[in-house]
């Protein structure tokens, strides 16, 4: 890792609370613009690694779909801003048509208003009107119509571990154009130094939306050139710790999944072991800011695998750290 790469990783680890601690879960989620929760226990892992208190975590955050169609645990009051990026978008529109999707959404909202929250019960009630193929798409375990409603701020998961939904009132109050500069600043404050390509990847922006991002005035940000790219960041005058010798990262950790280019942290030869073909990103172990292995908790036991030989102190610390996460994460 050259000196500029080291500077980038060092500043990112500071912003992402990997070289300092954040004791408040809601503060952590707010500053990181949500905690990735494809698997809900990764929220607990991510929080514990960063020093946050996870007492009451199941209700402290709201689980819903955000950037790139992925689930995040977020502070409820932040939803109107975060949802403004993709309000009302739905992959179902390509198959069923926008008008039909809206009509089905209204039917589902009506059922929820009448106290029907079970997808099984919804399927039974809706089956006389809709064919099996439509119902399979609309009530898909991957989200279906609930993604569409969630992006409008009308529904969210009942809690961080639930598969059922509740109605909420968190509709976006800004347009995408109004929200983008605010969200870009939040991204650069926590995730910077980063490129606009990184920001577009993080926010799930494509085609014309990328052009909107590039049109934002970025004169307020500090910048430098590296490897043919312009890196932007919010100037931070606080002291930053060095890159830690040893760091655990959660599954789908922000340090790995939030950037379009990950080579400085995740060597290419280990990528397939960390990011699986299914899209799952394993929890990892970093030494001096570089991924050298993976970890997990399976059958309530710590499991650690290194990709290359490590000193005994690193091996011992890895097992001790994962065991600590196992004890503190409880039954999550």
Is 146 within the bounds of a domain?
Answer: yes
pLDDT at 119 over 90: no
CB burial class (10 A; 0-12, 13-18, 19+) of residue 272? exposed
pLDDT at 331: 56
Cα separation, 177 vs 205, in Å, equals 12
Identify which of 151, 61, 59 has the alpha carbon closest to the alpha carbon of residue 102: 151
**324: containing domain:** 246-329
Residue at a domain's end among 150, 182, 201? 150
Is 229 within the bounds of a domain?
Answer: no
186 and 232 Cβ atoms separated by less than 8 Å:
no
End-to-end CA distance of the chain: 36
Cα separation, 210 vs 208, in Å, equals 5
For 244, other C-beta atoms within 10 Å of its C-beta total 16
In this prediction, residues 98-108 reach a mean pLDDT of 93
Is 68 within the bounds of a domain?
Answer: no
pLDDT tens readout for residues 256-302: 999 999 988 999 999 999 999 999 999 999 999 999 999 999 999 99
Residue at a domain's end among 150, 176, 191? 150
Identify which of 287, 286, 285 has the alpha carbon closest to the alpha carbon of residue 295: 285
* DSSP conformation class of 290: E
Q: What is the CA radius of gyration of the chain?
A: 21
Q: Name which residue leads in pLDDT, 95 or 62.
A: 62
Reported confidence tier of residue 108, pLDDT bands at 50, 70, 90:
very high
Q: Is the dihedral of CA 94, 95, 100, 101 positive or negative?
A: negative
Is 11 within the bounds of a domain?
Answer: no
pLDDT tens readout for residues 79-97: 999 999 998 777 888 888 9
Is 107 within the bounds of a domain?
Answer: yes
Is 108 within the bounds of a domain?
Answer: yes
Residue at a domain's end among 134, 150, 166? 150
Q: How many domains does the chain have?
A: 2
Q: CA dist 282 to 39, 251, 278, 293, 294, Å?
A: 11, 5, 11, 10, 7
Is 2 within the bounds of a domain?
Answer: no
Is 236 within the bounds of a domain?
Answer: no
pLDDT at 332: 64
Identify which of 97, 208, 105 has the alpha carbon closest to the alpha carbon of residue 151: 105
For 189, other C-beta atoms within 10 Å of its C-beta total 16
pLDDT tens readout for residues 199-224: 999 999 988 899 999 999 999 999 99
In this prediction, residues 109-121 reach a mean pLDDT of 92
């Amino acid at each position: 890792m050259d000196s500029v790469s080291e500077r980038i990783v060092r500043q990112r680890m500071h912003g992402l609370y990997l070289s300092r601690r954040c004791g408040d879960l809601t503060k952590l989620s707010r500053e990181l613009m949500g905690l990735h929760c494809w698997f809900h226990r990764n929220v607990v892992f991510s929080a514990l690694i960063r020093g946050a208190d996870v007492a009451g975590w199941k209700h402290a955050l709201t689980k819903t779909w955000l950037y790139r169609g992925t689930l995040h645990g977020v502070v409820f009051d932040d939803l109107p801003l975060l949802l403004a990026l993709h309000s009302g978008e739905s992959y179902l529109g390509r198959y069923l048509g926008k008008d039909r999707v809206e009509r089905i959404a209204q039917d589902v909202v009506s059922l929820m208003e009448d106290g029907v929250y079970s997808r099984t019960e919804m399927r039974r009630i809706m089956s006389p009107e809709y064919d099996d193929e439509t119902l399979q798409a609309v009530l898909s375990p991957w989200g279906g119509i609930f993604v569409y409603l969630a992006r409008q701020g009308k529904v969210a998961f009942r809690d961080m571990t639930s598969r059922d939904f509740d109605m909420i009132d968190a509709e976006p109050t800004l347009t995408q154009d109004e929200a983008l500069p605010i969200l870009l600043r939040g991204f650069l404050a926590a995730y910077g130094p980063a490129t606009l390509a990184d920001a577009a990847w993080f926010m799930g922006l494509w085609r014309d939306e990328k052009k909107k991002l590039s049109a934002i005035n970025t004169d307020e940000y500090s910048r430098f050139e590296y490897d043919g790219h312009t890196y932007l960041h919010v100037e931070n005058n606080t002291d930053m710790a060095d890159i830690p010798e040893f760091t655990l990262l959660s599954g789908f950790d922000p340090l790995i999944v939030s950037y379009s280019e990950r080579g400085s942290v995740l060597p290419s030869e280990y990528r397939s072991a960390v990011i699986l073909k299914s899209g799952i990103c394993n929890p990892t172990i970093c030494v001096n800011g570089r991924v050298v292995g993976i970890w997990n908790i399976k059958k309530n036991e710590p499991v650690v695998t290194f990709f290359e030989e490590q000193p005994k102190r690193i091996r011992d610390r890895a097992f001790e750290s994962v065991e600590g996460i196992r004890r503190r994460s409880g039954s999550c």
